[in-house]
Structure 1
Amino acid sequence: MEINYDNIKVIGFDADDTLWVNETYFRDAETEFANLLSQFETPNKIDQELFKMEMKNLPVYGYGVKGFVLSMVEMAIELSNGTVSNKVISKILDIGKGMINKDVELLDGVEEVLKKLSTKYKLIVATKGDLLDQERKLEKSGLLDYFHHIEVLSDKKEANYSKLLNHLDINPKEFLMIGNSLKSDILPLINIKSKAIHVPFHTTWAHEEVKLDANSNNQFHTLKTLKEIPQLLQC
């Protein structure tokens, strides 16, 4: 596939599941939650209902661990018809605190790739989630010095990216986004005439899953690992 990156001046990176592990912890938390509520429903039903609750609450709480925990608490009350114990609610809160306090596990080759790319391009982070949590993870990651700008977006749609690029005075045609989510990191950028590289993570949140039309993936590269990026960009 011939895609020309010669005019790229700024590269944006998603954070969760692009720079470090994230979604795996949500899947583990969902399993813990289902075990806590096993007296009320089957694990599969609990998982389905929790996802519905998260979707209902997204406009209120936004993305991130805190909104996820509030959805678990609300789901526990609903599934138990209001009989869930304080002890279970406390354990749900502990699940969330455990997620927030996890060490940052960088994905393979991340720092090596950032070091190479930063000699040729300006690098930024464009991620979504809870501001405090993302700032905490970036601090723990040891990667802050590679980035000229950090932006935690409320969402990742065309308008959000256009506003960000305009604010930073970046020409969309000179911007490349790298991320694991087709829905959030790739397709919106293609739609605003930027470039994008898809590096899938082995686990994807159902909310981020999309179906591509036949011609979509002719407009971006999909790589197995970040370590392939410097060669692709001839860096």
Structure 2
Amino acid sequence: MWQELNRQILAGQDFFDDQCRSLLVALREQSVTIYCKAGCSNCCTLMVNATFPEALLVGAVLAPEQFDAVAAHAEGLARIACDARDFKDYLRRRRRDLGPCPLLNADGRCGVYAVRPIACRALFATRNSAWCAVDFGTLHSAEKEAFMSSLDPSLVAFPTHYLAATQALGQQLEARAAAAMVSRWGFSLNGSLAFLLFLEQRCRLSALIPQGLAATRQALAAAGYDLPFVVNYDPI
């Protein structure tokens, strides 16, 4: 049931990585610096989202201690999702209270790098990685203006400093995964990677989805996990 979709996701990730390698070579030839490197993990403090098929691939390689960290993080996400005033408040509190992705190793490297979702693969920083950890809500307006004026709008997903081309391609692949789910089951599901991993372990989400959207949401609601911000359905 899921095997064919998982094969499509893996093929899409391989294609994406090939495209990124070619793009990075071209950018180096244009003297464009990409600041990402092994152990640079500030982007891992951002919200890590994934399509559900991507989450299944990650879940298949988790060690018990990794899942323990994921479960603790997901329970924190659930508390914040219940209490947050709005999405902006959720993002602020998630980053402040929970810290980075629970799959980040102590050395700053991704613990599931080979199967990390497209959302992670697509981020390439065109400014020093310190900017990846900045909460722009805390910056003075002059600092924000200076940062944005330093960006090349033809290169980045303005007003961020991340490459636009890789994010655009990543969104296409995510949309393809969503469309594959819709064609099979009438809806797609994405959300927080940690929370999706948690739902698969606690609720067998992969067995619920083929029963349809209503049955899936009913089961998650009964367990207390049909929450805003952490799980998204299309169509709703």
> Where on the TM-score scale, by shorter chain, does this alignment land: which range?
under 0.3
Q: TM-score, normalised by structure 1?
A: 0.27
Q: Between Structure 1 and Structure 2, which shows a larger proportion of helix residues?
A: 2
Q: TM-score, normalised by structure 2?
A: 0.27
Q: Between Structure 1 and Structure 2, which shows a larger proportion of strand residues?
A: 1
Which structure is larger by alpha-carbon Rg, 1 or 2?
1
